[in-house]
Amino acid sequence: MKNIKVRYFAAYREETGIGSETVSTGAGTPAELFAECSVRHAGLQSYSAALVAINDEMSDWNTALCEDDEVLFFPPVAGG
């Protein structure tokens, strides 16, 4: 089990009602972690085409997670 800090933005923050949480998880990748978080926060499932970052670097959904990583879940972006 790893300790991971999870942060939610924009629509995700509004759906979960929280900006961040620290979880103890067996998830090996952001994709697994997102699935796990979606069990607790059903609203997360409403959106796809999301982006993920780890420790302030854009990442992909299959990167291996490490202890104390900070994982940022971004709902679909809409700049401009």
Interface residues toward other proteins, by CB under 8 A? 9-11, 14, 29-31, 34-35, 38, 44-53, 56-58, 60-62, 72, 74-80
Return the number of the residue (2 or 43) whose C-beta is nearest other proteins.
43
Least distance CB 24 / other proteins (angstroms):
21
Asked if 59 and 53 touch (Cβ cutoff 8 Å), the reply is: yes
Least distance CB 64 / other proteins (angstroms):
13
Return the number of the residue (26 or 76) whose C-beta is nearest other proteins.
76
Q: Is 23 left (phi over 0), alpha (psi -120 to 50) or beta?
A: beta
Give the pair of three-digit tokens for residue 26. 């067996």
Question: How far is Cα 66 from Cα 48, in angstroms, rounded to an integer?
Answer: 24
Length of the chain: 80
Return the number of the residue (2 or 11) whose C-beta is nearest other proteins.
11
